[in-house]
Amino acid sequence: MLAIPSSMLLVQGISMSPIHPDQLKCDVAALPALPGVYRYFDAEGQLLYVGKAGNLKKRVSSYFQKAPAGTRIATMVSRIVRMETTVVRSEAEALLLENNLIKTLSPKFNILFRDDKSYPYLKISGQIDKSGMAEVLPKAGHFPRVAYYRGSVDRRHQYFGPYPSGWAVKDSIQLLQKVFRLRTCEDTVFANRTRPCLLYQIKRCSGPCVNHISVEAYAHDVESAGAFLRGETQDVLVTLEARMLACAERLEFEEAAEIRNQMSALSKVLHQQAIDTTSDRDVDILVAKVQGGRAVVNLAMVRGGRHLGDRPYFPAHVEDAVAMRFLDESVEAHDESGGFLPASTPVEVQVLEAFVAQHYISAPVPPALITSHAVAKGLIDALSLASGLKVNAVHNPREQRRVWLEMAQQNADIQLARLLAEEGSQQARTRALIDALDLTPDSLDSFRIECFDISHTAGEAAQASCVVFQHHKMQGSEYRRFGIEGITPGDDYAAMRQVLTRRYGKVAASIKALEEGASTRSALMPDLVLVDGGKGQVSVAREVFESLGLNLSVIVGVEKGEGRKVGLEELVFADGREKVYLGRDSAALMLVAQIRDEAHRFAITGMRAQRAKVRVGGSKIEEIPGIGPKKRASLLRRFGGIRGVTDASVDDLATVDGISRDLAEVIYRALR
């Protein structure tokens, strides 16, 4: 469980600290006693916190009471220099607005859930096209297709879901193939078939592409498949049985046998899925668990009565947000009781409520929620208001719902244990690297590494990458790419010199300004700088750091071993220390290799994107009379890309092999 500092219980008084601007004090004093949402900003314009209140004046004033120094909340409050508020009509509207802002603005002191990607759907394309049905050749429009889909929905098609994963969608498609034998092929493939495919042979498709099923019969299968996905399984069985008997009465025994086989396959699926044991069709099961300072919310989905699997979500900023919530509840309890009686909402409940409020902003909410902990009724009412659907939440279910909840709880335990194990492994690697290099960072958790790599193709589209490792994981939001210009194409040393100068020149300037007493924002200096290369690259880095007056001991080069084999790398130092070989099984080397490989990947992807732009632009050169592939390549290599060729003078162009002065003048005019 996350611990709340006992010193936070001492918040008393209502006078604002002199460290806050006068304008902020006036804004707080002028607040109305109405429901609304407030936002706090620091001096750099960064959003610190978003909160809601039934009474803006009372809630916001509570933050500027006399608070003990050294607590997380005191630190946050001391950074507030500006505030924005929005008055709304009700607390439900305030809750919805609060979580919309949290999700879009990512404040530092709120529990934050980030969606990695949109949910997938199962799509049945189009409607039955009645036109041209008398034609001999079948049309794709006569036979809707079932497919995996992710993206915005279109009313011309049917969508079922959402599903928690792509695997769940594909599993459902396989069920539809087994029972209803709907096609999955693209329309272009359908239009060019002259004989049935393998799926027809193994009884996973009814062969509409070669007229092995009528449009009417296929339409019945599409309708039954949609009803099955909506959970109307008994209706589907009744409809199939009626069709089978009708065919038998018409002496159409082959078609009756096909429908009988469908009923048998569907009954088998129902037995395997056990979906006929409950009347629930669409339900979300939500379980929150907190351990070791980390939290997880496991979301399991039931659609059409079928359990489709689950997906874990790991929130950020839990500890900071819990402390903020504790302050709010303490003040409210103090006001209502006349004495100090803090309300203590469990951390799991806070995490669960934050997920519910943020997740269903963009995801469709089902009519039933099963939760591991009781959530606020006001939250569910706001959810119903926003969705236009009556939503019910149950936290102590029975029978089949209890089974679903227990499954979700077990998966939450597994996912959180896996996360803690992975983080423990990364912490061990970080500690091993610090020990191996004899470093003394201020904090293990804040230990920061920046790694640089250069990538190009024969000098073309040179790019440098900088990736960041901190808090025991890669920080993708802080990655940077540097376009390299003004150097001899292919000169990796010059490229490294340029990127290091650009990156750490700002750091050196910031340090100098602080030494001179100037008030400036300090640029961040990492604890370790990795460069992908051996003595040559490290020498370049040493020259740059010496010229900037920076500490040489933080520079480490990653030199490839014999035969460039992974695990044989050696570390090269800029401050004169001997090379170090950490060993193939070293946890420290594993971390170094992980960061180096990530820098390499990031540089390559940037280089390829830049190269594609250059080559697209290079086509302008090939359109010039007298310029073929060889001369184009020579020009791009000589000037580092189309921009360099465009900026070159006639005299410069004429220095390229194969380019006469007359042709140089033609190129010069054509590109301008």
Domain boundaries, the chain: 6-113+323-342, 462-608, 623-670
User: What is the predicted pLDDT for the residue at 635?
Assistant: 82
Stretches where the chain sits below pLDDT 50 are: 1, 3-16, 68-70, 132, 134, 274-277, 336-343, 614-618
pLDDT in tens, 33-78: 899 999 999 888 889 899 888 888 888 887 776 554 446 667 778 8
User: What is the predicted pLDDT for the residue at 539?
Assistant: 93
User: What is the predicted pLDDT for the residue at 9?
Assistant: 36
Residue 434 CA to residue 431 CA, distance in Å, equals 5
**pTM listed for this prediction:** 0.66
| Preceding amide of 120 cis, omega within 30 | no
Contact 49, 108 (CB under 8 A): yes
User: What is the predicted pLDDT for the residue at 137?
Assistant: 62
Question: Is domain 6-113+323-342 given the CATH code 3.40.1440.10 in the classification?
Answer: yes
Which DSSP helix (H) or strand (E) runs through 428? helix 399-436
Using alpha carbons, select from 394, 316, 380, 419 the residue that is nearest to residue 108. Answer: 316
State how far Cα 142 lies from the chain centre: 39
Residue 13 CA to residue 64 CA, distance in Å, equals 9
User: What is the predicted pLDDT for the residue at 458?
Assistant: 65
Q: By CB neighbour count within 10 A (0-12 exposed, 13-18 middle, 19+ buried), where does 363 fall?
A: middle
Contact 458, 612 (CB under 8 A): no
Residue 526 CA to residue 504 CA, distance in Å, equals 10
Q: What value does the CA radius of gyration of the chain take, rounded to a whole number of Å?
A: 32
Please name every residue paired with 51 in a beta bridge, in sequence order, or none if there are none.
38
Question: Is domain 462-608 given the CATH code 3.30.420.340 in the classification?
Answer: yes
623-670 fold: DNA polymerase; domain 1 (1.10.150)
Which DSSP helix (H) or strand (E) runs through 300? strand 294-303
- Residue type for 618, please? G
